[in-house]
Structure 1
Amino acid sequence: MRSPLLDLPGAVAATGADEGVAAHYGRPAQEQRALADGTAVVDLSSRGVLRLTGEDRLPWLDSLTSQRLLGMRAGDSAETLLLDPSGRVEHAMAVLDDGTATWLIVEAVSAEPLAAFLLRMRFWKQVEIEDRTADVAVLAALRDLDEAGPDGPPLVWRDPWAAGAPGGVTRAVVDVHPGAALPLRFVLVPRVALDALAGRARSGEVVLAGVDALEALRIAAWRPRAARELDARSIPHELDWLRSAVHLDKGCYRGQETVAKVHNLGRPPRRLVQLDLDGSDAVLPEPGAPVLADGAEVGVVTSSARHHEDGPIALAVVKRSVPEDVTLVVRTADADVAAAQRVVVPAGAGPALAVPRLPRLGAVQRH
C-alpha cells in the first residue's frame, strides 16, 4: 500500500522490502541526524501487523517461538523468532501486548504466510488471529511518541536490542555494544492517521526521516532485520540474534535443539560482520553483492547505507573460516570496494556473554 507521506515535497520512494514508503524526503543526511537525535519520525507503514486475541494467545505463541512470552503484561515488548525444525529462522516478530491483545509487527511479505501458519497451529487453543495490515500502520522513532493507537491508547513497542533481553546472550566482544545507541520504538497507529501526519509534516509540527536514515543507524547498531540479513540457511547465532530474540532457559519450541547445540559449541557456520567501505569511489554495494577474501567469494552483503558520521557501511554474512583481521573486498558492477571488518560474531569458539537482566520483559533505556 502506498503511503500518503510519499506525496510530500521531496519524497523519494523506497524500493524492495520498503516499497510504499519514502526512502528519504530530499535531505538524507539531515534526516539521519534528526533521527539519531530523537527528533524525527519514520514512516514504516510498509510493515505487516497481526493481532492475536484469546486467553491462550501468550502461552500458545510462547510454545511455538524462541522467546519467553509467558508473563508479559500490558505495555510489555519482546522479540521472538519462528524457526523451522532445523533451527533456521523463518519469521522474526516484534511482540507487543496491550493486556487484551498481542500485536505482531513483521515484514510486509511475512504477514500473510505467518498468519496462515499460525491459523494452522491453533488446534483447540482459544486464539483468534487477524491480519490488520490494511488498517494499522507502523511509525518508528528513537523516542516514545504520544500517538493514539488503533483502539485509542498509545501502542509502543520498545526494541530489546538496545540493552538485550532476559535469558539472552551476545557473542559480540565489545565494551559498549553499538546497539545501545538505537533505542528503537515502533508505534502502531490507525492507517487513516497517516493523512493527518502528512499535514503536520507540511506545517513543520513533525520532522520526518526516510527509511534510509533508519537503515543506516540499524546497520551501525549491528541490528539484524529479517528482510535483509536472512536467507534460507540463517540460524540466530550467525546474526547475534540470541541477544534479543531467544531465551535459552525456556521450554521446548521448534528448532530448539539446534539453538542449544550451536550455543554450546559456540561455532555457527557463518558470522555477521560490519564492513567499513572505502568511500573514495562513491560506490555503495547492493544487498547480495559478493564479498571476497584473497580473490575467493566468502560471503554476501546483506545491507548497506551511507552513515552520517561513518560514511559508507554495510552488514555482511561471511564464512566462519574468514580471518577476523583480513581486509575484504566487495564486488559491485562498477568497481571492487575495499572493506575493513568490524567483528560482530567472532570466528572462533568462545563463551557467550549473558546480557543484562532487566526489570521488565523487553524493556530498554528510555530517552
Structure 2
Amino acid sequence: MSPISVASIDPSSIDAGAVAHYGDPSREQKILDTEAGLVDRSHRDVLAVPGVDRLTWLHSLTTQHLTGLPPMTGSELLVLSPHGHVEHHAVLVDDGTATWLDLEPGAGAGLLTFLSRMIFMTRVDPADATADRAVLSIVGPRTDEALRALGVGPLAPADVVPVPPAKFATGIVPPRPTAKYAAAALPGFDGLVRRVEGGADLLVPRAAVPDVIAAAALPPAGIWAYEAVRVAARRPRFGFETDHKTLAAEVGWTAQAVHLEKGCYRGQETVSRVHHLGRPPRKLVLLHLDGIATDELPAPHTEVVKDGRAVGFVGTAVRHYELGQIALAVVRQNVKPDDGGQLQVGPSTAAIDPL
C-alpha cells in the first residue's frame, strides 16, 4: 500500500516531510511497542561539528558535560537563554572526528547561527549536513535483534545518571554526560548507530537511505505510530511540549540533557536555582481525553482549562492503540490528578494520568 504523507493532510506541520502511516497506524504502533519497526525520520535537521576543540567548545556552550567524551558515544544537550529557557534541544553522537547533532525539522539553521557566532579562536567548523545525512529510527523491544541483522552490536542500553536531590553534596554527579548512548559504525553504509531509550537511531548518508531500509528488513512504521509511542512513554519533544519560557526541569530534561555540576554556561544559574528549590513552575503530565465531544485531536499548544482558567497547554495529542486519545501537556505545578475540578481541552474533558 502506498504511504500516506503528513503533507497531504497538513502541509504546515513540522512533520510534513515524513510519512504519516502505511495504511494501519494502530498495527504500526503495536509493532513499535511489542516488536521492532523502522521509522523514516529523515526530515530531521542534522549539523556536523568537526574540529579538535569541538567537545570542550560544546561543553562550554551547552547544558551537557562533554569534555573527554569517548568516540562512538551519544548524548543529548540543550542551549538555554540567559534566563534559563530552552532555546534548542539536540541529540548527538561523536565518531572521534566530528560531533553530529540531529534536531527538529527546521531548527538546524537557528542552532547553526548561534554556534557560528560562538567560534572565536576555537578550532571547530560547524556546518549544516541535512542535505547529506538522514536519521532513521529502529523502535521496539527487539531493537538489539534488528541491529545484529545489520551487523551491529550488541550495544549497551542507554545509561542515564539519576537526578540528585535538591541541595545535593558536591561530587555526587560524575564528570560525564548524564545520558550516555552507546554508538557504533554501521558497516557497509558509512553510517552510525546510536542506541537510545526504546530503540536506536541510524545516521546514514541520505543517498543510502533506500539501501539501509532494505537491509534492515523491518516492518515500516509512520510518524503517527512513532509519536504515539513517544507520548505514551512521556518523552517531551522540542516545539511541542515546550514554549518560549520552558525550563529544562519542567519537561524532565534534567536527567537526559543537563549536568548539574559542570562549569558555567548560559542559563546555568536558573537551572541551579530551580533544581535546589525543588519546584519548577510547571510540569509535564499525560492526559487522557474522553473523545466523546469530538473525534478530532487538539492541535499543539491548545489551552488546558480548569474551572474556566487556563492552567497549561497540550503539546502532542495522539490516538494510542491501547490507551485511546492521550496527550502530553505542560500544566501548572499545583494542578493535581485528584484535587477536584475537571480539565478541559477544547471540547474534550481531560484527566491527568495518576502515574
- Name the TM-score, length of structure 2 as normaliser: 0.81
Q: Taking structure 1 as reference, are residues 64 and 269 closer, same or farther at Cα in structure 2, changes over 3 Å only? A: same
Give the C-alpha shift of residue 37 in structure 1. Answer: 2.5
The partner residue of 1:191 within 190, 206, 224 is 206
Q: Does 1:278 align with 2:293?
A: no
Q: Deviations over 1:13-33 (max 9, x none)?
A: 254111111111111001111
Matched to 1:60, the amino acid is W
Partner of 1:222: 234
In the alignment, the residues of structure 2 paired with residue 87 and residue 128 of structure 1 have an alpha-carbon distance, to the nearest angstrom, of 26
Partner of 1:257: 269
Q: Does 1:78 align with 2:75?
A: yes
Matched to 2:133, the amino acid is V
In the alignment, the residues of structure 2 paired with residue 148 and residue 95 of structure 1 have an alpha-carbon distance, to the nearest angstrom, of 24
The partner residue of 2:352 within 337, 341, 344 is 341
Contact 1:78 1:245 in 2 (8 A): yes
Q: After TM superposition, list the pairs within 5 Å mapping 1:91-110 onto structure 2.
A: 91-110=88-107
Q: Taking structure 1 as reference, are residues 72 and 170 closer, same or farther at Cα in structure 2, changes over 3 Å only? A: same
Partner of 1:238: 250
Q: Taking structure 1 as reference, are residues 85 and 343 closer, same or farther at Cα in structure 2, changes over 3 Å only? A: farther
Q: Does 1:166 align with 2:177?
A: no
* Higher deviation after alignment, 309-318 or 184-193: 184-193
Contact 1:197 1:206 in 2 (8 A): no
Q: Deviations over 1:157-191 (max 9, x none)?
A: 9995xx6x3364599xxxxxxxxx95232211111
Matched to 1:166, the amino acid is V
CA RMSD of aligned residues (A): 2.9
Give the C-alpha shift of residue 47 in structure 1. Answer: 0.4
Q: After TM superposition, list the pairs within 5 Å mapping 1:308-323 onto structure 2.
A: 308-323=321-336
Give the C-alpha shift of residue 126 in structure 1. Answer: 0.6
Q: What percentage of residue pairs aligned between the two structures are identical?
A: 42
Contact 1:262 1:268 in 2 (8 A): yes
Give the C-alpha shift of residue 193 in structure 1. Answer: 2.0
Q: Taking structure 1 as reference, are residues 133 and 18 closer, same or farther at Cα in structure 2, changes over 3 Å only? A: same
Question: Which runs of 5 or more residues in structure 1 are unaligned?
Answer: 1-7, 172-180, 345-367
Q: Deviations over 1:235-287 (max 9, x none)?
A: 10111111211111111111000000000111211111110111344342221
Give the C-alpha shift of residue 324 in structure 1. Answer: 3.7
The partner residue of 1:266 within 266, 272, 278 is 278
Contact 2:53 2:122 in 1 (8 A): yes
In the alignment, the residues of structure 2 paired with residue 232 and residue 155 of structure 1 have an alpha-carbon distance, to the nearest angstrom, of 40
Question: Which runs of 5 or more residues in structure 2 are unaligned?
Answer: 167-195
Equivalent residues, number: 316
* Higher deviation after alignment, 64-73 or 319-328: 319-328
The partner residue of 1:213 within 222, 225, 232 is 225
For residue 30 of structure 1, give the secondary structure of its aligned residue in structure 2.
helix
Partner of 2:169: none
Q: Deviations over 1:285-320 (max 9, x none)?
A: 221221111122211111111111111110111122
For residue 274 of structure 2, give the secondary structure of its aligned residue in structure 1.
helix
Contact 1:77 1:158 in 2 (8 A): no
Matched to 1:306, the amino acid is R
Partner of 1:329: 343
Give the C-alpha shift of residue 155 in structure 1. Answer: 12
Contact 2:3 2:19 in 1 (8 A): no
Contact 1:21 1:46 in 2 (8 A): yes
Q: Taking structure 1 as reference, are residues 130 and 170 closer, same or farther at Cα in structure 2, changes over 3 Å only? A: farther
Give the C-alpha shift of residue 154 in structure 1. Answer: 7.4
